[in-house]
Amino acid sequence: MKKCLLNLSLTLVLAFAMTSCYTFTATVGNGPQTGTKIVAHNHYVINGLAPISTANTKELVGDAKDYSITISHSFVDGFLAWLTGSIYTPTTVTITK
């Protein structure tokens, strides 16, 4: 019984250790020049299939010509998705000017 529990625990630890956070970055123009960061969040349900609300990146960027947009699933985003059984799945949007 102890060996079975130990194997199960080891398998769960390895499964969590092998997961990664999803990140996508798009660079516009010459990329970020000033280092100013703006963080917003997208909110989805049913494992990302249906958006509740998404960040308006055009509004957040303003009139900047050079910037980068990064969309990621942070640890907190993944934890919230796990906690709700992927019913609620947020993402983090970071705009660097």
Give residue-wise pLDDT tens across range 54-93: 999 899 998 889 999 999 988 888 889 889 988 999 999 9
Q: What pLDDT does residue 47 have?
A: 82
Please tell me the pTM assigned to this model.
Answer: 0.72
Cα–Cα distance between 16 and 53 in angstroms, integer? 28
- Tens-place pLDDT, residues 10-45: 887 767 666 666 788 999 988 888 888 999 999 999
Torsion angles phi and psi, residue 56, rounded to 5 = -85, 95
